[in-house]
Chain A
């Protein structure tokens, strides 16, 4: 008895047969490396989804717990002889789970299980709701999921200071190109740059403008939806976000973002969220224009000359590959080329630079201790590189690396790629 009501998993049913159960994913899966149980492994998750589809397992909390124990890093796929995309199957399954179990899971779970544990979470939520209160009228219905982001700072973490002045109050709607205009692009800020680190967003826009690009910063853009559809499987909500974002960037040459997770989520709209031919077409057209800034600078502008701000003079920097940038989007060499070209700064490659840091968005909220164990190996690799500064291009990774550095009392500074180039 096949369960046809699983619309999302139904779409990937063929993919389920791709896994040949060789078990090679055991060697690379960061979650399995810590847990050592078959259900934590890609092969095991594939089997669970198969049994869900065949009706031998039903949707319940036990199943959901196991399907949420995946950072989505795609290391299994990258090393899979059959290229089985099990993390994407897991996302599809989460959508069906969310559909059936309702939004109490996993949001309900986060709030009950995680938030309840630390009083500090209350502060985070209060801050978040205040933010939303302030924003909602201005952006009339823009969907933001700051609670997810901010709740990540609980459990002994510092709450990052929310910016005094959000990015949209610092940047004009259009920033003119310096000199002759070559391209006209849209800038997608992402929630972190919008609310927490607007200076990064400003640096990106100004850098692009200096290189002859006119930058449009559409006010109606919202959250990319990564936490909502890739994390929580709430495709319904995410579709509204995707519609809004796709419409906001019509008519521009490119959509540039400096957040790896946003870049990844924006390019996944068609695959996961398209439920009508119109959406399929609109999402595909939008996704085709999305570039992470590292790829935009190196591949589109063919820029090769970068300088680092004076405060990085003489420093040794290393690069951490965000999974969303490296394995999801295939952007691997570009940031390295940028860092290697910086005068006055020495670039060193850390061991296992592309190993997942353990953040995985919601994964970190649901499985914080496990997430920190994965981060520990990253921290050891950073230490082995003996670098002063760790550079990355994903606010999620940045939070995780900074959190784990402070927990393990490591001296390295963690910064965004946009912090080190001018």
Chain B
């Protein structure tokens, strides 16, 4: 238990109202978006300034108290779940957009700004920040930086790290460090910005963020295609990219998801279809027209039963809503659902789909596919209603088989969700031992006492 004087000091730093220590509050900071990981903090603080965070970290350092930083807790890796009690440092009250610069095409934001709020503000200025994790209605900017988040748009526009120019970070010692700057070009020593981007809160607390923006594309088209064979759909994705076209999004949903969408929304999808692809192209009016035409040709050549444009904005919005409801459809269909995040090179997609099918048949667990085909990040979701210990162990083995298969195809353990608690047991198999050693040393430089989001990424840290 934390000593009362620690709580008292925290109250002095941020004010009484922004320190939560009732059991009934602590219980609500014990989870993230996953089902499997929980852990209750001893106190929650909701600071409003960088200075306050610096004081909190000094206090935590002096007393070696574990600090779990978090935003809205929408992550799905266990990353914001406290494992050693301690302090949960929640940045949602630091939610100002400090600057949007239309000439520099940059923005400066505090970590607690909600991504959707930021997008709404940019839309008014005709500007665009592409990274689009599907938790955009809840997730905070600080969280997306710490997780280096991505989403459907990343096929064309890359992930969060491609847009971070500069960061202000409070280190475990309480020191406020600035890295990077506000220029697109910046070649000054080692680039520490991408080190903190994706650090999952294990190196420091992100308190200030300078982002690169781009102008909003003038036009957009949504295309929909239906396939009777999943591997054909996978092959078409490869052939579109191979033809030199980079759509903004290429999303894949399988028969299970199509049926669930039809149950809930009834938008007229053929329930016997094995795959639906949803494709967005964006850019200038002329470019999107010719790209859409060419993609429709490729879809038909590739064996699509149906391939067509959404007839208007409303129909496009309906398709995308169905897509974003897809995950919920999967989660609500069984007692235990684990949505994995392996990612494979895009030219191995149909092989990947085929191998998943084999794993499913061998293990007896249904594997549902939904996700970002355009960047090789189609999430396989493995689910079971069983609470039997043996079944759950077999489920674990099935997940391991999926990871191993993805690595064999030249892929990676996690495309966008991060390691957190969920995937750390497999980290050593995905990385070069020398790289692991370097990473551990970096952790020690910034966090010698291991108080900063301990137990995340690293086993036995």
- What's the Cα separation between A62 and B25 when bound, in Å? 9
Q: B331 to A20, Cβ gap below 8 A?
A: yes
| Complex alpha-carbon distance, A354 and B328, angstroms | 24
Are B114 and A26 touching (Cβ within 8 A)?
A: yes
Contact across chains for B332 and A24 when beta carbons are under 8 A apart: no
Instruction: Tell me whether A38 and B328 are in contact in the complex, defined as CB-CB below 8 angstroms, given that A22-B33, A48-B24, A57-B23 are known contacts.
Output: no
What residues on A are CB-neighbors of B331 within 8 Å?
Answer: 20, 82
Task: Give every chain B residue within 8 A of A27 (Cβ-Cβ).
Answer: 114, 116, 137-138
Given A27-B114, A57-B23, A62-B22, A22–B28 Cβ distance below 8 Å? no
B163 at the interface (CB under 8 A from A): no
Q: At the interface, yes or no: B31 with Cβ under 8 Å from chain A?
A: yes
Least Cβ–Cβ distance between B231 and chain A, in angstroms: 29
A127 within 8 A of B: no
Interchain CB contact under 8 A, B28 and A48: yes
Proximity string of chain B (74-101) to chain A, C-beta cutoff 8 Å, 1 when within and 0 when not? 1000000000000000001100000000
**Is B416 among interface residues, defined by CB-CB distance under 8 A?**
no
Whether A340 is near chain B, meaning CB under 8 Å from some CB there, is no
Give B109 Cβ to nearest chain A Cβ, in Å. Answer: 16
A172 interface residue (CB < 8 Å to B): no
Residues of chain B within 8 A of A28, CB atoms compared:
137
Q: Which residue of B lies closest to A24 (CB)?
A: B137
Query: Could you tell me the distance between the alpha carbons of A62 and B137 in the complex, rounded to whole angstroms?
Result: 29
Nearest CB in chain A: distance from B124 CB, A: 13
Assembly CA distance A56 to B30 (angstroms): 13
CA distance A186 to B12 in the complex (A): 61
Number of residue pairs A-B, CB distance < 8 angstroms: 86
Of the residues B28, B46, B332, contact of A18 by C-beta under 8 Å: B332
Judge whether B35 and A37 touch: CB under 8 Å. no
Chain B residues within an 8 Å CB radius of A79: 137
Partner of A21, one of B32, B93, B114, B335: B32
Contact A47 B27 (CB under 8 A): yes
Q: Does A411 contact B (CB under 8 A)?
A: no
Question: Which chain A residues in 243-282 approach chain B with CB under 8 Å?
Answer: none
State whether A63 touches B24 (Cβ < 8 A): yes
Taking CB atoms, residues of chain A closer than 8 Å to B138 are 22-27
Contact with B along A39-81 (1 / 0, CB 8 A): 1010110011001000011000011001000000000000111
Q: Which of A51, A66, A81 is within 8 Å of B325, CB to CB? A: A81
Instruction: Give the docked Cα–Cα distance between A264 and B116 (Å).
Output: 32
Query: A36 within 8 Å of B by Cβ?
Result: yes
Whether the pair B27, A37 counts as a contact (CB closer than 8 A) is no
B72 at interface by CB-CB < 8 Å: yes
> What are the residues of chain B within 8 A of A39 when measuring CB–CB?
24-25, 28
Within 8 A of A (CB), among B295-332: 324-325, 327-329, 331-332
Tell me the complex Cα distance, A23–B28, Å: 12
Contact A23 B24 (CB under 8 A): no
Interface positions of A from 129 to 174, Cβ below 8 Å from B: none
Verify B73–A37 contact, CB threshold 8 A. no
Is B405 interfacial (CB 8 A cutoff)? no
Residue among A25, A37, A79 with most chain B CB within 10 A: A37
Q: Given the complex of chains A and B, what is the CA–CA distance between A9 and B29 in angstroms? A: 22
A63 to B93, CA, bound (A): 23
Interface string of B94-117 (1 = CB under 8 A from A): 000000000000000000001010
Tell me how far the C-beta of B362 lies from the nearest C-beta in chain A, rounded to whole angstroms.
Answer: 28
Quick check: is B193 within 8 A (CB to CB) of the other chain?
A: no
Q: Which of A17, A23, A38, A43 contacts B25 (CB 8 A)?
A: A38
Residues on B with C-beta less than 8 A from A21 are: 31-35
- Chain B residues, CB < 8 A from A81: 324-325, 327-329
A283 to B287, CA, bound (A): 61
- Total count of chain A residues near the partner, CB < 8 A: 30
B29 touching A38, Cβ below 8 Å = yes
Interface of chain B residues 30 through 77 with chain A (CB within 8 A):
30-35, 46, 72-74
Within 8 A of A (CB), among B187-216: none
Contact of A47 with B332 at beta-carbon distance under 8 Å, contacts A21-B35, A22-B138, A57-B23 already known: no
- Shortest B415–chain A CB gap in Å is 18
Compute how far the CA of A20 lies from the CA of B338 in the bound complex, rounded to whole angstroms. 12
Mark each residue of chain B from 1 to 32: 1 if its CB lies under 8 Å from any CB of chain A, else 0. 00000000000000000001011110111111
- Least Cβ–Cβ distance between B278 and chain A, in angstroms: 17
Closest residue of chain A to B139 (Cβ to Cβ) is: A23
Q: Cβ of B222 < 8 Å from any Cβ of A?
A: no
> How far is B116's CA from A268's CA once the two chains are assembled, in angstroms?
34
The reply to whether B24 and A66 form a contact with Cβ atoms under 8 Å apart is yes
Q: Which residues of A lie under 8 Å from residue B92 when comparing CB positions?
A: 36
Residue of A17, A20, A38, A56 touching B73 (CB-CB under 8 A): A38
Are A22 and B24 CB-contacts (below 8 A) given A27-B137, A36-B92?
no
B31 to chain A: which residues have CB within 8 Å?
21, 47
Give the complex CA separation of A25 and B114 in angstroms.
12
Are B28 and A47 in contact, CB atoms less than 8 angstroms apart?
yes
Best-buried of B32, B92, B93, B328 by chain A (most CB within 10 Å): B328
- With a cutoff of 8 Å between Cβ atoms, the chain A residues found around residue B324 in the complex are 81
B135 part of interface (Cβ distance < 8 Å): yes
Give the Cβ gap from A264 to chain B, nearest Cβ, in Å: 24
Contact A23/B328 with A37-B20, A37-B25, A57-B27 known, Cβ cut-off 8 Å: no
Pairwise interchain contact A62-B23, C-beta atoms closer than 8 A: yes
- Distance in Å from the Cβ of A76 to the closest Cβ of chain B? 11
CA distance A160 to B339 in the complex (A): 56
Encode contact with B along A1-35: 1 for CB under 8 Å, 0 otherwise: 00000000000000001101111111110000000
Please give me the residue from chain B that is nearest to A51 by CB atom: B27
Which residues on B sit within 8 Å (CB–CB) of A80? 328
Q: How far is the CA of A373 from the CA of B28 in the complex (A)?
A: 23
Give the distance to chain B from A3, nearest Cβ to Cβ, in Å.
16
Tell me the smallest distance from the CB of B330 to a CB of chain A, in Å. Answer: 9
Contact of A37 among B33, B46, B139, B335 (CB under 8 A): B46
CB distance from B289 to the nearest CB of A (A): 33
Chain A residues closer than 8 Å to B332, beta-carbon distance: 18, 20, 82
Measured between C-beta atoms, what is the minimum distance from B431 to chain A in Å? 29
Q: How far is the CA of A20 from the CA of B137 in the complex (A)?
A: 15
B27:A22 contact, CB within 8 angstroms: no
What are the residues of chain A within 8 A of B335 when measuring CB–CB?
Answer: 17
Which of chain B's residues has its CB closest to A38's CB?
B28
Q: By the criterion CB–CB under 8 Å, are B29 and A22 in contact?
A: no
Q: Which residues of B contact A82 (CB under 8 A)?
A: 328, 331-332
Cβ distance B273 to chain A, nearest Cβ, rounded Å: 22
B48 to chain A, nearest CB (A): 10
CA distance A26 to B139 in the complex (A): 9
Whether A36 and B46, one on each chain, are in contact in the complex, defined by CB atoms closer than 8 angstroms, is: yes
Give the residues in chain A near B35, CB-CB below 8 Å. 20-21
Give the residue name and chain of the A residue nearest to B115 (CB). A27
Q: Given the complex of chains A and B, what is the CA–CA distance between A22 and B326 in angstroms?
A: 13
Decide if A23 touches B93 in the complex (CB within 8 Å): no
What's the Cα separation between A63 and B25 when bound, in Å?
A: 9
Chain B nearest CB, measured from A279 CB (Å): 31
Q: Which of B32, B114, B135, B138 has the most CB of A within 10 A?
A: B138
- Give me the 10 closest cross-chain CB pairs, A-B, nearest first: A81-B328, A44-B28, A27-B137, A38-B28, A23-B138, A23-B74, A20-B331, A26-B138, A24-B137, A62-B24
Question: Which residues of chain B have a CB within 8 Å of any CB of chain A?
Answer: 20, 22-25, 27-35, 46, 72-74, 92-93, 114, 116, 135, 137-139, 324-325, 327-329, 331-332, 335
Residues in A lying within 8 Å of B, measured CB to CB: 17-18, 20-28, 36-39, 41, 43-44, 47-48, 51, 56-57, 62-63, 66, 79-82
Q: What are 5 A-to-B residue pairs whose CB atoms are below 8 Å?
A: A22-B327, A23-B139, A43-B28, A57-B23, A62-B24
